[in-house]
């Protein structure tokens, strides 16, 4: 499984995608509850944007997930998207 996580100050929009590229779950959770989601998908890979609060979330997620921190401008699909929504960014 793969988790795409679009972080915000108080919440995160998460898209969970299986190995075939199918969306398994889309959910908006508070940052405080991300550890519950991480435990449920333990062993999966996750990508989060390098935002001002990513390091706190990274520490929480890294206990359960293989986390990659990505620079937003280097995420081509997000940077060039004409649809800027949290759900689209998470995918």
CA distance 58 to 15: 16
Structural domain that includes position 59:
2-90
What are phi and psi for residue 57, nearest 5 degrees?
A: -70, -40
Q: Using CB atoms within 10 A of its CB, is residue 82 exposed (0-12), middle (13-18) or buried (19+)?
A: exposed
Number of domains in the chain: 1
As a whole number of Å, the CA-based R_g of the chain is: 12
Contact 65, 36 (CB under 8 A): no
pLDDT tens for the chain, 91 residues long, are 999 998 888 999 999 999 999 999 999 999 889 999 999 999 999 998 877 777 888 898 999 999 999 876 665 554 444 555 555 555 5
Instruction: State residue 79's pLDDT score.
Output: 45
CA distance 87 to 91: 7
pTM over 0.85: no
CATH code of residue 61: 3.30.420.40
CA distance 30 to 1: 21
């Amino acid at each position: 499984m793969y988790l795409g996580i679009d972080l915000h100050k108080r919440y995160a929009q998460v898209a969970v995608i299986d190995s075939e590229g199918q969306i398994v779950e889309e959910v908006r959770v508070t940052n405080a509850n991300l550890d519950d989601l991480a435990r449920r998908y333990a062993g999966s890979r996750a990508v989060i944007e390098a935002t001002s609060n990513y390091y706190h979330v990274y520490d929480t997620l890294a206990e359960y997930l293989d986390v990659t921190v990505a620079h937003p401008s280097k995420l081509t699909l997000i940077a060039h998207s004409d649809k800027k929504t949290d759900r689209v960014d998470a995918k």
